[in-house]
A and B are shown apart, each in its own frame.
Chain A
Amino acid sequence: MGAIAGAWQWLTTVANWAGEKGVWHRLGEHVYLSALCLALACLIALPVALWLGHIGKGGALAVNLSNVGRAVPTFAVLVLLTLTPLGTRGDWPTIIALVLFAVPPLLTNAYLGMREADRDVVEAARGMGMSGPQLLLRVEIPLAYPLIMTGLRSATVQVVATATLAALAGGGGLGRIITAGFGNYDTAQVVAGALLVAVLALLVEGVLVLADRLFDPMRGRRRGRRATKGTGPGPGADGPGGSVGDDEVVALGKPA
């Protein structure tokens, strides 16, 4: 347990938090990169997924994209992009790689959410004279919300994790503390950096679970429907990670 004591000592040393290579600066880089890439990925993936889901086409694309994404090693893509002429343009290799890996879970989940929205309800809404946009905004998206949010969660976790890998390819972010620790033969710093990254990832996941519950448009109304569906592992299976049903198995991204 010497490593933990060393890590604690490293973390409580004020000098390690300040400056260009300090924790605060790296944390800022990490959060900035993650947020930027997530926003870009949402801008790309969500409109496409919602539209494809609305018209009911492109299912094969949406579903297979996620499988292909899982087979491609993040690290390889980062390094490949770094070695292209893009590598001289600062953060661009990292940003492109992160967006590339955030799009599949977002797209697949939003699409599946749209398709799995209760068809009877959608037809009823259409029968009531709702127009296409009304149907999309007031029926399909609220019904697809849980899966869209699951996609957003796995994309976010993935982006935060992948931003760590950027350090391996010379980018910024919290991963730098770990790689610098490896470079200086400083086990205490390696463990301290790893703890910081792990805590950040868990914190982000926790915040997202809370946001998910808070903003659910059908809050309190969904329970009954879920219970009748009955394909999930049951009510006892809910872990701190949020609802753990078949949805989640579908939606799990790949940690990087």
Chain B
Amino acid sequence: MTAQAAVAQVGGPGAVQAAGPGGAPAGGSSCLQTNDWICGEYVRSRGQELVDATVQHIGITAVSVLIGLLVAFPLALAARRWRAAAGPVLGLTTVLYTVPSLAMFALLTPVFGVSAAVVVTGLVMYSLTILVRNILAGLEAVPTEVREAARGMGYGSVRLLFGVELPLAVPALVAGLRIATVSTVAMTTIGSVVGYGGLGNLIASGMEGFFKAEVLTASVLCVLLALTADLLLLGLQRLLTPWTRERAPGRTRARRGARTAKGVA
């Protein structure tokens, strides 16, 4: 019965859109009537709709990435602590990663009903693969000398983790966070299949009504959102790791490790 509500959700905005390009809206300006790709009038008249969709998009992405981080951290710690846990943890997250998002959301629908939880859960599962690996790579790249020195200074294992290892792993961690965030922003659009896709909802309804301006505007906003999030996280990393800026020539091993883990990001 959950699928019924899903279609109602998807069909909802579509029905409204149908009045857009086809049946010239009241005081219709030319670009809405000719169904142009770029249309200022669309942005003006449907501004609220765009803002709502963007807010939903940001909300879903932020919640997914935050939960992903909260789940990935203990998993990475467990994988580092116990060798036996590493295989299953990394294997399972990799397997989850290969499941196509449409299938993932569809499979989660019977569990959560049609709700934002379906989209968030799916996105969290995808972000785990990247986050767990990067946190793990970052922690393992901390030089042994640093660890030994901290132990010698009387650091306990908890203080060692949060006071020394984690700060040194920040570059790798943020690199993973950036990849996860950018792909989550892009993938949130698929949530439109259950009506919680943020800007994806507009893309879907634009496709149904053959409304070009709606599709293009929503798509561009989506890409801009991803790039903005990426830049913000980069800024965050610079704030969190002031020491990496001063020593350009003599890079620490932790930093080099972070660079490899970061890879192409």
- Interface residues of chain A, those whose CB is within 8 Å of chain B, are 2-4, 63, 66-67, 70-77, 79-80, 82-83, 108, 112, 157, 160-162, 164-165, 167-169, 175, 178-179, 181-187, 190-191, 193-195, 197-198, 201-202, 205, 231, 233-234, 236-241, 244, 246, 248-252, 254-256
Shortest C-beta distance, A218 to chain B (Å), equals 21
Contacting residue for A256 out of B7, B83, B84, B101, CB 8 A = B101
Which residues of chain B from 123 to 162 have a CB within 8 Å of any chain A CB? 126, 129-130, 133-134, 136-137, 140-141
Distance in angstroms between the alpha carbons of A250 and B261 in the assembled complex: 7
Please classify how large the interface on chain B is, using the bins under 10, 10 to 19, 20 to 34, 35 or more.
35 or more
Q: Does B39 contact A (CB under 8 A)?
A: no
Digitize B93-122: 1 where CB-to-A-CB distance is under 8 Å, 0 elsewhere: 011011111111011011000000000000
Chain A, Cβ-Cβ closest to B183: A254
Which B positions have Cβ atoms within 8 angstroms of A?
1-4, 6-7, 10, 79, 83-84, 86-92, 94-95, 97-104, 106-107, 109-110, 126, 129-130, 133-134, 136-137, 140-141, 176, 179, 182-183, 185-187, 189-190, 192-193, 200, 203-204, 206-207, 210, 212, 215-216, 218-219, 222-223, 226-227, 230, 257, 260-265
Give the shortest distance, in Å, between A19 (CB) and chain B (any CB).
Answer: 22
A127 and B148 CA atoms in complex are apart in Å by: 44
Number of A-B contacts (CB under 8 A): 227
A29→B104 CA distance, assembly (Å) = 20
Provide the residues of chain B in CB contact with A202, threshold 8 Å: 95, 98-99
25 A-B pairs with CB atoms under 8 Å apart are A63-B264, A67-B264, A71-B186, A71-B230, A73-B203, A73-B219, A76-B189, A76-B218, A185-B7, A191-B107, A193-B103, A194-B106, A205-B98, A231-B260, A233-B137, A234-B83, A234-B140, A236-B87, A238-B87, A239-B94, A241-B91, A249-B176, A252-B97, A256-B101, A256-B190
Q: Are B263 and A246 in contact (CB under 8 A)?
A: yes
Shortest beta-carbon contacts, A-B, top 3: A239-B91, A250-B263, A241-B94
Given the contacts A70-B183, A167-B102, A244 and B133 also touching, CB distance less than 8 Å: yes
Chain A residues contacting B129 (CB-CB under 8 Å) are: 252
Instruction: Tell me if A67 and B265 are in contact (CB < 8 A).
Output: yes
Closest-by-CB residue of B relative to A247 is B263
CA distance A181 to B3 in the complex (A): 8
Instruction: Report yes or no: A168 in contact with B94, Cβ–Cβ below 8 A.
Output: no
Q: How close is A71's CB to chain B, nearest CB, in angstroms?
A: 4
- Assuming the contacts A71-B227, A178-B102, A190-B109, asked whether A237 and B7 have C-beta atoms less than 8 A apart, the reply is no
